């Protein structure tokens, strides 16, 4: 009973069209992340679901019950939607201690005192904030307040949980631990979670599904693997890569299931490509940094490049290379590999992993 369905949602702020005919279904038990660059409409989507903003057009239903019908000016109040929301800005009660803040929802629901104590203590422990239990929000750092806000939301074991950048103020180590907690929480409570972030690593590691937004449009809804390996649009590919995916402009011709491309990387023959790639002409090849092998000796099929710089980061090294006169290529290799600047090396990559985009439309075609 926690499926959420948005149909043709349109939202304007002053004359700006922020959400444009948004259709989105969040199935019961999904961990759905709304991902996209700053200002693309993620938070607005969350706010129209909760009732903090009203869309001008479109409908929203939660658990099969209509809570918004823009055409009929019907907007159920937030308190009647059965949602639990954690904002980036925490919104803790300033006059209550950490313990009292976390216990608040259970007190309202008249849960027996002993049960409240156990549940609150468990939530404090999960969020690693037991030692701040008697402090007031003003005596906590931003990251500590953020964890109190999550504890307060999870303690009631909600069916639906909405989280807006809930880990944005945590340091790297704590963020990793809290991600693991959220993932466990999702699995244990089978809560439907809608999560807003602009951090693609967070989205890829936590979600069962990712919805990617650009300028108020949903451009792709897919599994994390689908989003990562098959971005439907070159903007998605550009956004998701970490480090950025290499884009190489090429001329292409299509022959019997093979796409032949000519670019500064030379001639590439991409086998088993769908006829949709028949669009002979200008394309953009997308080659993932981690698919590129850097070899120091001439090798069959190896493309000569010069080392521009190496950026070792302990367990992996980013190598920036130049191919031809003006093509920069980024490779990510395992381990610590320090190569002298200017050194001639050779790169190879599995051709079946190269995605091809139509240069004019930016759409994935092969
Ligand atoms: P971020 O990652 O920076 O939080 P977002 O994707 O969540 O971004 P939204 O907060 O949904 O983006 O904002 C979408 C657009 O709507 C932005 O251009 C923003 O300036 C505008 N906007 C949001 N709230 C209001 C408001 N109350 N009044 C006017 N414009 C608004």
In the sheet with 246-255, reading across from the earlier edge strand, the strands are 266-270, 258-263, 246-255, 281-287, 355-358
Residues 102 and 195 in one domain: yes
For residue 243, cis peptide bond before it (omega within 30 degrees of 0):
yes
Predicted pLDDT of residue 142: 83
Closest CA to ligand 1's atom 3: 38
Residue 319 CA to ligand 1 center (angstroms) comes to 36
Residues 227 and 150 in one domain: yes
| 212 pocket-lining for ligand 1 (C-beta < 6 Å) | no
| 88 pocket-lining for ligand 1 (C-beta < 6 Å) | no
Predicted pLDDT of residue 242: 82
Residues 230 and 250 in one domain: no
d(CA 270, CA 166): 43
Predicted pLDDT of residue 157: 85
Tens digits of residue pLDDT in 46-103: 999 999 999 999 999 999 999 999 888 999 998 888 787 666 566 789 999 999 999 9
92 within 8 A of 111, measured Cβ to Cβ: no
Residue 242 CA to ligand 1 center (angstroms) comes to 25
DSSP 244: P
Count Cβ atoms below 10 Å from residue 283 Cβ, excluding itself: 23
Q: Look-up: residue for tokens 């200002």?
A: 39
Domain with residue 356: its CATH number is 2.40.50.100
Predicted pLDDT of residue 278: 53
65 within 8 A of 1, measured Cβ to Cβ: no
Residues 182 and 228 in one domain: yes
| 44 pocket-lining for ligand 1 (C-beta < 6 Å) | yes
Domain with residue 120: its CATH number is 3.40.50.300
Residue 212 CA to ligand 1 center (angstroms) comes to 15
Residues 33 and 106 in one domain: yes
Closest CA to ligand 1's atom 30: 13
**How far is the CA of 193 from the CAs of 146, 182, 242, 308, 359, in angstroms?**
17, 10, 25, 43, 36
Nearest Cα residue to 331 out of 351, 352, 314, 308: 308
| Ordered DSSP codes for 159-200 | SEEEEESTTTTS-HHHHHHHHHHHHHHHHHH--EEEEEES-H
Predicted pLDDT of residue 279: 58
Residues 209 and 356 in one domain: no
Residues 194 and 338 in one domain: no
Residues 139 and 234 in one domain: yes
Q: Which helix (H) or strand (E) holds 20?
A: strand 16-26
Counting Cα atoms < 13 Å in the Cβ hemisphere of 6 gives 24
d(CA 175, CA 167): 6
CA quadruple 236, 238, 239, 240: dihedral positive or negative? Answer: positive
22 within 8 A of 218, measured Cβ to Cβ: yes
Residues 175 and 210 in one domain: yes
Nearest Cα residue to 281 out of 252, 247, 248: 252
Task: Choose the final residue of a domain: 174, 204, 238.
Answer: 238
Residue 198 CA to ligand 1 center (angstroms) comes to 13
Residues 55 and 148 in one domain: yes
| 11 pocket-lining for ligand 1 (C-beta < 6 Å) | no
Residues 357 and 213 in one domain: no
Tens digits of residue pLDDT in 247-262: 999 999 888 888 899 9
Closest CA to ligand 1's atom 19: 39
Number of alpha helices (DSSP H) and beta strands (DSSP E) in the chain: 8, 21
In the chain, which residues have pLDDT < 50? none
Question: What is the atom index within ligand 1 of the atom nearest the CA of 198?
Answer: 2
Cα 64 to the center of its chain, rounded Å: 27
Predicted pLDDT of residue 153: 87
d(CA 238, CA 247): 9
| 18 pocket-lining for ligand 1 (C-beta < 6 Å) | yes
* Total domain count, the chain: 3
Closest CA to ligand 1's atom 11: 41
Closest CA to ligand 1's atom 22: 13
Residues 177 and 272 in one domain: no
Counting Cα atoms < 13 Å in the Cβ hemisphere of 170 gives 22
Cα 167 to the center of its chain, rounded Å: 13
| 38 pocket-lining for ligand 1 (C-beta < 6 Å) | yes
d(CA 20, CA 87): 24
ipTM over 0.90? The verdict is yes
DSSP 245: P
Q: Which helix (H) or strand (E) holds 346?
A: strand 344-348
Domain span holding position 19: 4-238
């Amino acid at each position: 009973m926690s499926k959420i369905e948005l149909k043709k949602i349109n939202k304007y702020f002053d004359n700006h069209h922020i959400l444009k005919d948004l259709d989105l279904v969040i199935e019961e038990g999904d961990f759905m992340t709304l991902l996209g660059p700053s200002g693309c409409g993620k938070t607005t989507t969350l706010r129209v679901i909760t009732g903090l903003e009203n869309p001008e057009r479109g409908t929203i239903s939660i658990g099969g019950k209509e809570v918004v019908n823009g055409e009929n000016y019907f907007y159920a109040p937030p308190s009647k939607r059965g949602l639990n929301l954690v904002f980036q800005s925490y919104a803790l009660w300033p006059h209550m201690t950490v313990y009292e803040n976390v216990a608040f929802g259970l007190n309202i629901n008249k849960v027996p005192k002993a049960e409240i104590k156990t549940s609150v203590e468990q939530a404090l422990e999960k969020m690693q904030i037991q030692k701040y239990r008697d402090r007031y929000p003003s005596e906590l750092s931003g990251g500590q307040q953020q964890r109190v806000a999550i504890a307060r939301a999870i303690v009631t074991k909600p069916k639906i949980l909405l989280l807006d950048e809930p880990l944005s103020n945590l340091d790297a180590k704590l963020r990793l631990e809290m991600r693991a907690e959220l993932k466990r929480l999702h699995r244990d409570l089978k809560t439907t979670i809608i999560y807003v972030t602009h951090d693609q690593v967070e989205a890829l590691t936590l979600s069962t599904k990712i919805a990617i937004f650009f300028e108020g449009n949903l451009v792709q809804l897919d599994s994390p693997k689908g989003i990562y390996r098959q971005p439907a649009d070159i903007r998605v590919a550009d956004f998701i890569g970490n480090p950025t995916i290499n884009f190489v402009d090429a001329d292409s011709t299509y022959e019997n299931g093979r796409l032949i491309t000519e670019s500064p990387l030379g001639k590439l023959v991409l086998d088993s490509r769908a006829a949709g790639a028949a669009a002979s002409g200008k394309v953009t090849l997308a080659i993932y940094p981690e698919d590129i092998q850097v070899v120091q000796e001439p090798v069959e099929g190896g493309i000569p490049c010069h080392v521009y710089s190496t950026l070792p980061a302990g367990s992996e090294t980013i190598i920036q290379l130049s191919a031809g006169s003006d093509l920069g290529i980024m490779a990510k290799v395992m381990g610590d590999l320090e190569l002298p600047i200017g050194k001639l090396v050779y790169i190879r990559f599995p051709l079946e992993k190269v995605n091809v985009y139509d240069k004019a439309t930016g759409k994935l075609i092969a």
